[in-house]
């Protein structure tokens, strides 16, 4: 013991701890439901993916991720020309990604009622 009091964590640190705890629980539940290939970093894409497509730059802005991160996350998704600008590409779901019942499984995982770490 050094004699110095341990500072209390600030709000940002506490919020990050809650986020990481919820992410661990959600992605553990997704893995239990057969989505063991979905990693937490994919949430940046999944949360903003639209059936009509979205440009990678818009996806980066909406998710707060760098374009390099978005580029690595969208490899499993389809790309097609943007009808408004043929130079641009739209990222859209494919037949295999996300899986057809992903919304149902994600909703089930979110609402399964299990306590977060440290609360139960």
Confidence class for position 58, pLDDT limits 50, 70, 90: very high
Q: What is the mean pLDDT of residues 57-61?
A: 91
- With a threshold of 0.85, does the pTM exceed it? no
Q: What is the mean pLDDT of residues 92-109?
A: 64
The DSSP result for 29-70, as a single string, is HHHHTT-TT--GGGHHHHTT--TT-B-HHHHHHHHT--HHHH
Residue 32 in tokens: 């239990």
Q: What is the mean pLDDT of residues 8-25?
A: 88
Q: Which class in CATH covers the domain with range 39-98?
A: mainly alpha
Sketch the domain layout of the chain as residue ranges. 11-35+99-115, 39-98
Average pLDDT, the chain: 77
**pLDDT of 115 above 60:** no
pLDDT at position 24: 86
pLDDT at position 76: 63
């Amino acid at each position: 013991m050094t004699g110095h009091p341990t500072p209390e964590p600030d709000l940002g640190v506490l919020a990050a701890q809650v986020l990481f705890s919820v992410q661990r629980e959600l992605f553990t539940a997704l893995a239990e439901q057969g989505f063991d290939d979905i990693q937490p970093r994919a949430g940046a894409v999944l949360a903003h993916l639209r059936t009509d497509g979205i440009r990678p730059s818009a996806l980066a802005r909406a998710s707060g991720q760098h374009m390099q991160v978005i580029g690595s996350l969208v490899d499993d998704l389809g790309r097609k020309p943007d009808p408004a600008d043929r130079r641009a590409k739209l990222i859209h779901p494919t037949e295999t990604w996300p899986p057809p019942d992903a919304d149902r499984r994600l909703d089930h995982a979110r609402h399964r009622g299990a306590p977060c770490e440290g609360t139960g």
